[in-house]
Chain A
Amino acid sequence: MNRFARVIILLAAFLLGVAWILESRERVAGAEPVLESAPIAGYAAPDFTLQSTNGETVSLSDFRGTPLVLNFWATWCPPCRAEIPFFQSASQKYNGQVAILGVNDGERPDTVLDFVGDYGMTYPVLLDTGSAVSVRYRVTALPTTVFINADGVIAELFPGIINEAVLEDRIESLIRE
């Protein structure tokens, strides 16, 4: 193959590539509106209403307009206990910028209340006594943390223990959005 033919082939590859990139841009320019709710990043976070340990009725939709962190946990779960100080610290550090909610998975209210007092948790802790919300969010491992942006769209589901730096990194990403 002579030099001219090679140049033509390269040019064709370049033009086809650019054309495809432009075509792909058109596809995403009108990105799908987020209508469906599902426990997956990019979808609207499924709404729920639960009682808090303070006796208040709290709905997810109450927090629309504010970035939100949901932490599914249980008192019997050692990794959950290990990361609670990080959520407590973040709730104070980002107070007013991000809402942090603990969602206790399937335990008796008095057990949770005792624990909340012992650990000095001041952020809202919700009682998912029947685990209905955990099931709805397909929580298969505790702890699981869900990061939700101000539009109510899930940014990330994070199964397993999270460390303080990662928690702050994700919260700051939510604030920047």
Chain B
Amino acid sequence: MLPTISIGPLVLPTTGLVYILGAWLVLTVVERAAKFTGASVQPTYGVAFVGMLAGFIGARLLFVATHWSAYVDNPLSIIWPLSSGFSPAGGLLVGGVAALYYARWQRLPLGRTLDALLPGVIVGFMVVSLADFLGGPGYGQETTLLWGIDLFGIRRHPVQIYELLAGLVALAAWYFLARNRIRPGRAFLLGTAVYAAGRLLLDAFRANAPLTTGGFHIIQIISLVIMLICLVFLAFDTPPETAETAE
């Protein structure tokens, strides 16, 4: 774990640094993926940028709205500090809706746009895993395996490293289909299914995963649903000619 980095007298939180660099990396990956898949580069980049910016604002606004009594006497604290105080649900909702509207406004084809965006999304999840590994509260279950990491005297599964590897496998699966540029949307579906399967598998090794009241891993349940939806579309989607025409 490396929660902070010291540069001379300056102590910087690793998580924040990783997120800032991660935002740049996600946008760069989307831009390159758009070129690779033959999608319109600038509009696709715009979807990612608008989604991220709106998601950031939405996550903050929902948190502020649900804790308004703490902000009302000091409205400046709405904009500073920004190191905490975000609602993930607000970010997903506002970011998702903004990205969708921007994509519709730009009249982007659904399949090819999703193909171009997926590597950015997977890299985004990998950035979260890396930030969690360096400075976050997540850690794996105990293990005797050789590659376990020592955490305060106990050898544990490096579960966030596993997640990074799952992301790489999903990117490889995406690349496998995206390079052929046929049947838009299939690279997105395969990459998503592989990543979801990875998280379904790996969350079992997390020691402090969010659970339902019955003790089931919430991330596993969500991953299974997403994986099955993608597999259904992959198995029963329309022929390539129809798919292209529909867009």
Interface, chain A (partner B; CB < 8 A): 3, 6-7, 9-10, 13-14, 17-18, 20-21, 23-25, 27-29, 31-32, 36, 38, 40-43, 138, 140-141, 156-169
Q: How far is the CA of A62 from the CA of B220 in the complex (A)?
A: 39
Q: How far is the CA of A141 from the CA of B3 in the complex (A)?
A: 10
Minimal beta-carbon separation of B216 from chain A (angstroms): 5
Contact, CB under 8 Å: B217 / A21: yes
Which residues of chain A are near B71, meaning CB under 8 Å? Answer: 164-165
- Residue with the highest number of chain A CB atoms closer than 10 Å, among B64, B137, B209: B137
Contact, CB under 8 Å: B13 / A159: yes
Considering the complex, give the chain B residue whose CB is closest to the CB of A5: B235
Considering the complex, give the chain B residue whose CB is closest to the CB of A142: B11
Interface, chain B (partner A; CB < 8 A): 1, 3-4, 6, 11, 13, 63-64, 67, 70-71, 74, 77, 81, 83-85, 135, 137, 139, 141-142, 151-154, 200-201, 203-204, 207-209, 211, 214-217, 220-221, 224, 227-228, 231-232, 235-236
Contact, CB under 8 Å: B208 / A20: no
Which residues of chain A are near B221, meaning CB under 8 Å? Answer: 21
Contact, CB under 8 Å: A140 / B11: yes
Contact, CB under 8 Å: B4 / A141: yes
Q: How far is the CA of A34 from the CA of B220 in the complex (A)?
A: 24
Contact, CB under 8 Å: A17 / B67: no
Considering the complex, give the chain A residue whose CB is closest to the CB of B70: A165
